[in-house]
Structure 1
Amino acid sequence: MFQIIWILIIGLVLGLLARLILRGPQAIPLWLTMLLGAAGALLGNAVAGWIGVRHTSGIDWIRHILQLAFAVGLIALVSPAWSRRKVNR
């Protein structure tokens, strides 16, 4: 249970950081920001493990940068689609 809560908290932080990095408004709700941030964290962890930098001595900067990069990419992809979805209603 606590692991799910931590995943959602990290997803929210990563999602909000990703929205700050991207230019312009992102017309997506907060819950979607949190889910996309969590997905970015999971993808970043997977890629970090694949390239062999998931666990290093000290702070895993490369893993965190990958997580943030995937969160930015996911929000950049989903935000325009979500905006068009709202307009079609």
Structure 2
Amino acid sequence: MEISGIISAIVIGIVIGVLGRLVLPGRQRIGVLWTIAIGIVAAFIGTGIASGLGVADTEGVDWVEWLIQIALAALGVAALSKVKLRH
């Protein structure tokens, strides 16, 4: 992966993290940096899953890939928020 690909993955990860957080109802007790980190991880994992399913490289916007990434980010934000509540 080239540096431009890594930078775009980070930017997309930020957007994915924010969208994943907005999908969840209520207040999440994690900070912005955790949201961004979860979004970046969800973007990388979601791209891998979408590639495995064969839906990563389609013409136009890859809606299925985005939905996978947002769902993973929402799961990550929810999981970390629950862990934070216990502490």
- TM-score, normalization: structure 2? 0.85
Q: 1:52 to 1:26 in 2, by over 3 A?
A: same
The equivalences for 1:10-89 within 5 A come to 10-85=12-87
Runs of 4+ in 1 over 4 A off after TM superposition: 1-4
Distance 1:78 1:2 in 2: 29
| 1:16-68 residue CA offsets vs partner (Å, 9 max, x unmatched) | 11111101100101110000011111111011011111111222111111111
**Any conservation in 1 of the 2:50–2:68 contact (CA below 8 Å)?**
yes
Relative to structure 1, the CA distance from residue 80 to residue 7 in structure 2 (aligned partners, 3 Å threshold; closer, same or farther) is: same
Secondary structure of 1:34's aligned partner: helix
Larger Cα Rg: Structure 1 or Structure 2? Answer: 1
**d(CA) in 1 for partners of 2:56, 2:6:** 20
Relative to structure 1, is the Cα distance of residues 83 and 13 closer, same or farther in structure 2, using a 3 angstrom cutoff? same
**Residue ranges of structure 1 left out of the alignment (5+ in a row):** none
How far apart in 2 are the matches of 1:57 and 1:5?
Answer: 22
Tell me how far apart the structure 1 counterparts of residues 4 and 13 of structure 2 sit (CA, whole Å): 14
TM-score with structure 1 setting the length: 0.83
Work out the percentage of aligned pairs sharing the same amino acid: 35
**Once superposed, what is the RMSD of the aligned Cα atoms?**
1.5
